[in-house]
Structure 1
Amino acid sequence: MYLYSDRATGDEIGDLIGEHGIDYEYSNQRGVLLIFSFQNTDNDFVYVTQVIEEIYQIIAGKEQRQVFDEHFLVRTPVIRCSPREAFFGKKKKLLLEQAKGMISCCCFKQVPPGIPILILGEEITDWHLQQLPPNTVLAVVKE
């Protein structure tokens, strides 16, 4: 379950959830990720629901904030080959800055919420250099 709000950061929500004894997988400025498994009981879900309702009451009075960077979601990737071609093609590994202009053989996602930053078959551009850490090693199509 991915929780986000226009009234609090994911880190703030994570802190509030943690105060109630609920562990979460990950949090950042955008949201908090809860992971459940077959080991969770109906009572666990009832408790999480109660805690979320309580947290909602706490943050409902806060001032609204921008949830997502609008520019992040409107990007149109430059696809140079199919993901299948990139996956099965000959590859080499390079540092991110060396890979600019090449075709990616890997996928990077912003977690949470799982928004792709780079997908197989996509050309690596200046935008990727801004989004990924500079020491990132990428698999690219060997030309």
Structure 2
Amino acid sequence: NWTNTIMQIFVRGTAKLLALNIEKDDSIQDVSEYIAEEAGYAVNDILLSLHGTPLNNEQTIEEFDLVPGTIIDANIKLLGGKIHGRINHAGKVKNQTPKVAPTEKPKKKTGRARRREQYAQRFSNKVASPNGVHHGPNSNYRLPASS
């Protein structure tokens, strides 16, 4: 692969694609230093990888089967914490509101008793205003007190 002592490779992942002329005895640390100088990052914050495999700073370029035009990925370390579990649950505290026992409801009437209730609701218990207009079961209308 090394016909000449100098080969051009590319570094992707910083602000732009950088072209580097490297020698086979250069180390990954030398490449990181060049990227840090060009992009303005600290050398320790740059992580280089080739085809998804992280590169160790002590390794030399000759140890990899590089061809002219090979692209190395550069990533920058970011400060941040870990989120455990799902991201939309981050920072939430569980079970803050006390559980309230559900109230027991009386059993609904069936058959004849239910029909009797329906009749009373629909016909007997209707409130009719003096002008003859019926008001619904949820109406707050009260007949005026007779004096």
**TM-score, scaled relative to structure 1:** 0.18
Of structures 1 and 2, the larger Rg is shown by 2
- Structure with the larger strand share: 2
- Structure with the larger helix share: 1
Larger RCO, structure (CA 8 Å, separation 6 or more): 1
